[in-house]
Structure 1
């Protein structure tokens, strides 16, 4: 795929036209208050994995609606003192997978918490968290579930789960709550940005080729799923564009980014047709945290920097987690 989006110089100054709802902060404060009415009930069950250098716990905690959400907590073997913790969110369609697929941050000496995404996991990885909430008509996938009402929208539950995942990770005695970072790729990157705006005391944020950003542009510039799911829904349900746009305004990474407080390391790929680079820059350019930067991968599609971006994170994140 050749370069298809705005020139890089223009993207560095690009601003989204996404409209922030007037009650954005109230909506999310009420969502999290409602979620926290349920006891976190974080449970950590040790599991045998055959990994001699890492200890693994099967985690269950109460997410949105008190619904049980799964995760992994992975620690350097034999850890006895609280460690900085990296909370990770996974990509679209995937689940938490198996513990041996998550070796990076535990091997680097940190606690690593991987959140399962409710209702997902059949696409790859495998998940163990159902989404017990129904919705009206939707296009196959997750993007349009409950999309005509922000209170019913699928990502309201997911973002609330993600905040609770930070709280669950911090509840373990071998994690240092004061040194918490969040990260993820694609959908995981979009969730990361949302959490950056909802959890005020993170020390670092690392979204890679993030999804769920700059909906007005993303849903009209690419034919790739998942964004295309919105267009396919509106192709059938004509006349509902205004209601859908209003809902998406509550979930746009651009608005969460404007509330970010921790330093961030973004990544973007200039041939990315799944999460177009201008939409990633829209979130990065809105990000309010200090000392933030973005890695640009000129001739890459949605794979982004892959292991090169992991190397960049390994050089960047420990300095912030160990400060």
Structure 2
């Protein structure tokens, strides 16, 4: 592992070697963990998402980017972007686009997104994607009553598993899949049924681990520096990300561990059986690496590990690592969705 110069008041590698990290386990699931998430998924699948597509906002990298909104649980309208190949007639609209062979739902990091950004281009050609801003998040998920700052958002409704905002954020991803399949009906017309890919980094990686085990529309996933892994361990590790807000809350409200058990991405990964590419980091001041590796280690199905030197931290090798991960992602999805 590279030695990074930094001024954090703690070690963002947490004294762990790669061998140490590959041994970090997942916490045991509560007895009704699967029942809780299956019920949430069933409710999300029953939502009439009624997606509405706006005009073309951007054309680049072989795709057109449209604004989009759709309905999620609780009647909340979620905003984001719809990405389609740039080889169909604009005037006929994306619903009639006939050149799409693959579909992706793309999660985002804590803080949201104000454009598709580096998530485009997509891993495979002839792909469509829906990139939502989950409720509360910048810029198209803003919602009255839900804070948009990560350290406040991560605590919203945390007093109960039934009110915690993360449950509804996971539902926003499920409803994004429903909206995408409605907008690109060709994806549902295969004999084997829809086979979507999921991409998620950091916050989106943790949400993806929570969402994927219960939704058979997804056939493969990439989780990069995923958060929310092994909460009991995370509560002992200082960081500069949203986990620090949870640590501070836990000091005053130790009973919150009863809620966090249902939102542990590593626990959820023990139910995750679709092929998954994980990209955890050895050094990360925002999402402690032991929690990231706990997610990878727990995955029940086929898994591929792509180790990053650092996450949430810029250094000389960032551009090189980004390219290597992009290449690995393209190979992975070509093998599992191509």
**TMscore range, shorter length:** 0.7 to 0.9
8 Å CA contact 1:86–1:111 kept in 2: the answer is yes
Residue of structure 1 aligned with 2:111, choices 84, 89, 93: 93
8 Å CA contact 1:74–1:106 kept in 2: the answer is no
Counterpart position of 2:312: 302
1:156 aligned to 2:167? yes
Alignment of 1:77-92 (within 5 A): 77-79=86-88, 80-92=98-110
- Does the C-alpha gap of structure 1 residues 81 and 139 become closer, same or farther in structure 2, counting only changes over 3 Å? closer
**TM-score normalised over the length of structure 1:** 0.86
- Unpaired runs of 5+ residues, structure 2, are 5-10, 89-97, 189-193
Counterpart position of 2:191: none
The RMSD of aligned alpha carbons is: 2.4
Counterpart position of 1:6: 16
CA distances 1:145-184 after superposition (whole Å, capped 9, x unpaired): 1111010101011011111111111212365242210011
Residue of structure 1 aligned with 2:202, choices 180, 186, 196: 186
1:53 aligned to 2:62? yes
State the alpha-carbon separation in 1 of the partners of residues 174 and 105 from structure 2. 10
| More moved, 304-313 vs 249-258 | 304-313
Counterpart position of 2:329: 313
1:172 aligned to 2:183? yes
Counterpart position of 2:7: none
Shift of 1:210: 0.6
Counterpart position of 1:214: 230
1:111 aligned to 2:124? no
1:205 aligned to 2:215? no
8 Å CA contact 1:85–1:111 kept in 2: the answer is yes
8 Å CA contact 1:182–1:192 kept in 2: the answer is yes
State the alpha-carbon separation in 1 of the partners of residues 220 and 150 from structure 2. 35
State the alpha-carbon separation in 2 of the partners of residues 23 and 49 from structure 1. 45
State the alpha-carbon separation in 1 of the partners of residues 282 and 32 from structure 2. 34
Shift of 1:109: 3.1
| More moved, 56-65 vs 158-167 | 56-65
Residue of structure 1 aligned with 2:280, choices 268, 272, 289: 268
8 Å CA contact 1:51–1:100 kept in 2: the answer is no
Shift of 1:92: 0.3
Runs of 4 or more consecutive aligned structure 1 residues displaced over 6 Å after TM superposition: none
Shift of 1:28: 1.8
8 Å CA contact 1:88–1:113 kept in 2: the answer is yes
8 Å CA contact 1:5–1:276 kept in 2: the answer is no
8 Å CA contact 1:268–1:277 kept in 2: the answer is yes
SS in 2 for 1:260: coil
State the alpha-carbon separation in 2 of the partners of residues 246 and 64 from structure 1. 24
SS in 2 for 1:176: helix
CA distances 1:179-230 after superposition (whole Å, capped 9, x unpaired): 2100111111112212221212421110001111111111211232210001
State the alpha-carbon separation in 1 of the partners of residues 186 and 207 from structure 2. 21
CA distances 1:235-294 after superposition (whole Å, capped 9, x unpaired): 4xx3x212x11111111111221111210100111111222222112111110122x111
Counterpart position of 1:124: none
**TM-score normalised over the length of structure 2:** 0.83
